[in-house]
A and B are shown apart, each in its own frame.
Chain A
Amino acid sequence: MNKLNNERAPLEELVEAFVNLPIPEGPEVEVKQRLLETLTHADDIAETIRPVSFWRGKTMRKIIGSAAMVLVFVSVVSYFQPPPTGGPGAAFAAMLREIKEIRTATFIVKARIDDGPEVTGRSSLLEPSWVRQEMMMDGKVKAVQVFNLRDGSLLSLMPEQKKAILLDISGIPEKQRQESIVESFKKMTEDAAEFVGEEEMEGTTTLKYNVDQQGLSFYAVWLDLETKMPVKILITDHADPAKSKMHITMTDFDWGAKVDESLFTLEVPEGYELLEQSLDLGGSSEKDFAAMLRIYVRLNDNAFPDEWNVLTVASIGRLMKKSEGTDEEKKQYAMKKLAQALGKPELADTMSQMELGMQLQQPFGRGAAFFAALTETHHCHYQGKGVKLGEADKIVFWWYPREDQADEGADLEMAHVLYGDLRIETMPVEELPRPE
C-alpha cells in the first residue's frame, strides 16, 4: 500500500484497503437479541415483521389516501399514516396500554401541503373501522366523509348542495387494509418513541416524544403529564424523494368520547342526490400509470413534474387553481383545465367541485395503485424534471424487478422505460441512464 502515500491510488489498492479495513465489534448485543426475538417468531408473525409488508401496508394507505384526496381536494391522510416504531418511555408505554382500551375518540385535524391552504376537519372515530370527518370552512361544515376502513367504502356528503357520493374501493388486499390513527397507536410497541422533554402547552404540562418513521414521516406526540394521553400529534410526511411536505396536526382530543354511533353509517340521508362510484385498485397496470401522468402533465402545462410521489398526486388541486377572480371565474378556469387534461371538449357547468374531482378518481386511483406497488418490488427512478409531454427521446421513468422481490422467472435484466411521449418500452438494465 505504499502508493497510497503518494498522490495516485489505483483501484486495486483501494480494494485491498477495503478488504483489510479493521471492522469494530458489532452489532450491539441488544440489537442481536431484539433481532433474534423477532426472527424466532417469524413463522407466527411473518406478515407483521416483513419490511415489505410494512411498506405495502403503508403504501396502500397512501393509495387510498390519494384517492380520497383527489375526490375532495383535501387530505385525510392522517388516517392512513403507519404506526410509529422505536424508543423508550414510561409515559409513552402507559399511553399505549390506555389506548388499547379506547373505542371512540374525537379530535380536530388540520392538514396542509407545504405552505398551501390549510384544511380543517373535525374527526370522530368508532373503532374498529369507522371514521367520520367533517370538513370545515368559515366555521361551516362544507363536506362530511364517513369512511368504513374495513370495507373500503367512503360516503361523502355535501350538505349545501344536498349531494352524496358513495365510493366503493375494491381490490385492496386483505392484509393491506388501512387503519385509523387509534388503530395505529394500538399497534405501537413500548420502544416506539424518543423522549424529547417537558413542554408547557396552554397551561398543561406535556411530555413530548419524537418518532422518525424511517426517514419517511416524522411524528411529534405530546402527552398530558397527568392523563398520559396524547393532547397533540404532529405528523410531517417527508416521503422520499418528495420535497413537498404534508403537515398534519391533530389537537383537541377527547379520548373515549361519547359519539352518536348512528352517524357512522353509509346510508344516505333523506333529500340527498346519490351518485355511486366504484374504484377497483386490483390489477392496475403501467397503462394506468401512463394515463395518470398524461392528465397530470396536461394540467401542468405539458411539463412533467420535478418529482413524482404521493404528494405530487395530492397537490393536483393546485394545478387547476386560479389565484384571482370571482368564485365562478375560478370554477370555470378549473373546469376548462380539467376538460383539456381529460381530452374532453367541455364539462357540464353544473358540476360541483367534488364531481370535478371524481373525474380524476379512476385514473389517479389506479395509476397511484400501480406506482405504489411498483416501488415496493422494483428498482424505480423518476427523472421527468424538465421534460415536456411529447419529447419522445427523453426518459421520464424506469423500473425493473428487485432481485429479492421478483417473481420466479422474472427478467431481472430488462427494465421498462417510460418516455416523454408516454410510450413504454423495454431496455436492458445495463443501458439505463445512471441516476444523477
Chain B
Amino acid sequence: MVDWLTIIEQHGPYVWRTAYRLLSDREEANDCYQETFLYAVQYCQKREVENWAGLLKRMATSRALDRLRQRYRNRDELLEDGEAVIAREPAPDSPLQLQEWMNQLRESVASLPVQQADVFWLSEIENLEHTEIAVQLGATTQQIATWLHRAKQKLRQLLVEKGIAGEVRP
C-alpha cells in the first residue's frame, strides 16, 4: 500500500515546480501535477519504485513537455487560421526580453526529439544525474550523454536561427 500523503508532501513541491517552470501557466501546471501522480499510480502497479524523486521528476517533465508540444501545435493551427495566440503568464520579476527568450527556449525544447528533450530538461534544469536519468529512461549513461550533446547542439542552432544567440562556435 503506497503512502500517497507522504509522497505528495515529499515530492509534490518539485513536481509542481517542474510543471510550472515548463508550462508557465497555473491551470496547465495544476493539470500536469495531477496527471503526473495518476501516471505514477499506474506505474507503481506494474513495477516497484526505487526512486520516487527521479520517477516523478521524469514523469512531470515528460507530461509537461507533451503539453508544450500540444500547445505549440495548437498555436500553429491558430496561426494558420489567422487567429491570435494566447499569451502565457509572465514570470514574476523577469524582464520582458528574458521572458520572450525563455519562451523561445521552451518552444525549441518542445521541438526536439522526445528523448533529447527529456534528457536536456532533466539534466540541465532539474539537475538529475546522468545515471539517474539513464535508469528512468531505460537507457545507458552513454546514450544519455549522446542525447544531451545532440540536444544542446540543436538548441544552440535553434537559438541562433531565432536571433537569440550568436553563431555557434565549432
Residues of A participating in the B interface, judged by any CB pair closer than 8 Å: 1, 4-5, 7-11, 14-15, 17-19, 21-24, 26-28, 31-32, 34-36, 38-40, 42-43, 46, 49-52, 215, 240-241, 379, 403-404, 406, 412-413, 429-430, 432, 434-435
A32 x B38 contact (CB < 8 A)? no
> Nearest 3 A-B pairs (CB), nearest first?
A39-B4, A42-B41, A27-B30
Q: For residue B20, give the distance in angstroms from its CB to the closest CB of chain A.
A: 5
B8 x A32 contact (CB < 8 A)? yes
**Complexed CA–CA distance, A36 and B101 (Å):** 36
Q: For residue A46, give the distance in angstroms from its CB to the closest CB of chain B.
A: 6
A-B contact count (CB 8 A): 143
Name the contact of A27 in the complex, choosing from B16, B102, B114, B147 (C-beta under 8 A): B16
What B residues does A43 contact at CB under 8 A? 1-2
What B residues does A23 contact at CB under 8 A? 16-17, 20-21
- In the complex, the chain B residue whose C-beta lies closest to that of A4 is B98
11 additional A-B pairs beyond A17-B101, A43-B1, beta carbons within 8 Å, are A5-B95, A9-B159, A9-B164, A10-B165, A14-B164, A18-B102, A23-B21, A27-B30, A39-B37, A51-B39, A412-B137
A11 x B43 contact (CB < 8 A)? no
What B residues does A215 contact at CB under 8 A? 70
A403 x B42 contact (CB < 8 A)? no
Most buried by B among A22, A32, A50: A32
Q: For residue B9, give the distance in angstroms from its CB to the closest CB of chain A.
A: 9
- B83-97 Cβ-contact flags toward A at 8 Å (1 or 0): 000000001111101
Residues of B participating in the A interface, judged by any CB pair closer than 8 Å: 1-2, 4-5, 8, 12, 16-17, 20-21, 26, 29-30, 33-35, 37-39, 41-43, 45, 59, 62, 69-70, 73, 91-95, 97-98, 101-102, 105, 111-116, 124-125, 127, 136-139, 143, 147, 150, 152, 155-156, 159, 163-166
What A residues does B20 contact at CB under 8 A? 23-24, 26
Specify the main secondary structure of chain B where it touches its partner. Answer: helix
B125 x A18 contact (CB < 8 A)? yes
Name the contact of A51 in the complex, choosing from B12, B42, B137 (C-beta under 8 A): B42
B21 x A18 contact (CB < 8 A)? yes
**Complexed CA–CA distance, A1 and B93 (Å):** 14
Q: For residue A379, give the distance in angstroms from its CB to the closest CB of chain B.
A: 6
Name the contact of A14 in the complex, choosing from B21, B41, B105 (C-beta under 8 A): B105
Q: For residue A219, give the distance in angstroms from its CB to the closest CB of chain B.
A: 18
- In the complex, the chain B residue whose C-beta lies closest to that of A406 is B138
What B residues does A46 contact at CB under 8 A? 41-42, 45
A17 x B102 contact (CB < 8 A)? yes
Task: Say whether, besides A26-B26, A27-B33, A21 and B21 are in contact (CB < 8 Å).
Answer: yes
Name the contact of B124 in the complex, choosing from A15, A34, A404 (C-beta under 8 A): A15
A52 x B42 contact (CB < 8 A)? yes
- In the complex, the chain A residue whose C-beta lies closest to that of B153 is A11
B2 x A42 contact (CB < 8 A)? yes
**Complexed CA–CA distance, A327 and B40 (Å):** 56
What B residues does A241 contact at CB under 8 A? 73
What A residues does B1 contact at CB under 8 A? 43
**Complexed CA–CA distance, A3 and B114 (Å):** 30
- In the complex, the chain A residue whose C-beta lies closest to that of B41 is A42
B150 x A430 contact (CB < 8 A)? yes
Task: Say whether, besides A9-B101, A50-B42, A36 and B5 are in contact (CB < 8 Å).
Answer: yes
**Complexed CA–CA distance, A287 and B17 (Å):** 43
- In the complex, the chain B residue whose C-beta lies closest to that of A402 is B62
